[in-house]
Amino acid sequence: MRDKPDITKYIMKPTSRKHLRNTALLTATAFAAAGVNPLLAAAEESELNQRPNVLLILVDDLKPALGAYGDRVAITPELDRLTSLGIRFDAAYSNQAVCAPSRYNLMLGSRSTSTGLYDFGRNFRDFYPDAITLPQQFMREGYHAEAMGKVFHIGHNTYNDDASWSVPHHPELLIEYVEHESTGGELTREEALFNNESWGFAGTLPRGAAWEYPDVEDDAYADGRIADRAVKRLEALRDEGKPFFMAVGFARPHLPFSAPRRYWDLYDPDELPMPEIEVGPEGAPNYAVKRDGEIHQYDPIPHSSEHDPFPEELTRKLIHGYYASTSYVDAQIGKVIRGLEELGLDDNTIIVLWGDHGFHLGELGIWTKHVNYELANHIPLVFVAPGVTEPGTATGQPAETVDIYPTLLELAGVPMRETSQPIDGVSLVPVMKDTEARVREYAYHCFRRGGRMGRAIRTEDYRLVEWKRIGEAPDTAEIELYEYSEGPVELRNIAEEKPEVVAELLEILYRQPEARRSRPESTWQ
């Protein structure tokens, strides 16, 4: 077995004056109530204790490869059961298919193009020092807020936001190996990056294995430990009797596909779905299609100059690893949900299941995310809201990550305090009450590639992507248009064939503000 690195020294940054100020404001607000009439205070406390709890489950790189979403291969009984308890959003999308910005989208309720936060290494409080994050909205109404695992992205010169939690965030490993053979006993480049070592130093390190499957217990990896901790903390919070906002972040199915052997054994490799199209869409700009990048940081992944597409055996192994990792995290989330139920908290707890973005498994020759195509942006999104959602319901309402912020506030009866950051989300509660209702007819997302900003509009039938440099005139843009009646993989750019659809979707796009230029990298001092 391999020794685990000490991660706390990498993820804990010095507390800045801005963070101290924000924390002090929260503390001052609490102490200001000290002079309130005791009877009135007791009544207010009783009312507070009746408010619903929130359990926010975040899963890294989870696309809708779930039985509940119609995937016939995925073995995900716990997530299928969770989905059956509430409402499933079938047309939910990330606002940007990369880890750090997607989590800012969630926690700020702001699209990346509204904030200019497109990259790692940006501290949103450098640009919005008085921003009110989603958990802070709850904290200001008397809630206890805490987080464990991957909630904010930590790594690649990016850190947690201390002011968002009532107690310190509980970190866990994201890049993790048990077997010595997976690393040769050395620190690997992805471990270093997620430990906030410099890019230059990480580049000198060896690659770790893309997968491993030792015969170990679930808690040999971070997600098993996080599930165990979540149940213990739920019990403690129940006993305290104060409403809570708990964010529980899971690592798998993010690479490496490290999961106990029994989850790999669930699948017959010969029965796994293999990509049918391994070249980019016909007529797409070259820069819109991705090769290499994240996937190439793992061994034994070849560079695309050596193999494009990957050999079939390697492709099958990676797909096996993704499905095994998904089944592993499914089991861990099941432990948390069943723990919630056994503690009697389920009748008064809003549950949200959210994947931070989608994932390509060789379709179009693309691996992981970082593009504007369907499979990189389509996400699972499930709400279980006692007294509001009906069990086993689903909707085609287009939804975005930023919508979770106002939706949770409305569900919990928490007033939205005025924020310094832009709020781009809309509440989905009307759709929960009537699955045929519509609060928006499209989803919006973005990604930068080739020095251009790609802004996308996804409707029920089409996706339009406008590619241009920020600030340049619309007539300089290149346009992609895809139609999805034959499936989720883009085959051919039909922008020139359907100018009337392009015009219609551009009219929607031009109603959105122009994308902000990228913010400078933060120093985190």
Tell me the HSE value of 431 on the side-chain side, using a 13 A CA sphere.
Answer: 26
> Is there a contact between 479 and 502 (Cβ–Cβ < 8 Å)?
yes
Q: What amino acid is encoded at 48 in this protein?
A: L
- For residue 334, what is the enclosing H or E element? helix 312-342
Q: Give the span between the Cα atoms of 366 and 386, in whole angstroms.
A: 40
Is there a catalytic annotation at residue 19?
no
Taking CA 475 as the corner, what is the angle to CA 470 and CA 476, rounded to the nearest 5 degrees?
50
C-alpha to C-alpha distances, 312 to 28, 301, 365, nearest whole angstrom:
61, 12, 12
Active site residue 307: no
Helices (runs of H) and strands (runs of E) counted in the chain: 17, 17
CA angle, 212 then 217 then 222, to 5°: 70
Q: Which residue among 144, 153, 320, 370 is the active-site one?
A: 153
Of the candidates 183, 158, 162, the one whose C-alpha atom is nearest the C-alpha of residue 5 is 183
- Select which of 99, 170, 357, 445 is catalytic: 99
**Residues 223, 66: Cα–Cα separation, whole Å:** 18
Residue pair 164/128 in contact by the 8 Å Cβ criterion: no
Q: Which residues are catalytic?
A: 99, 153
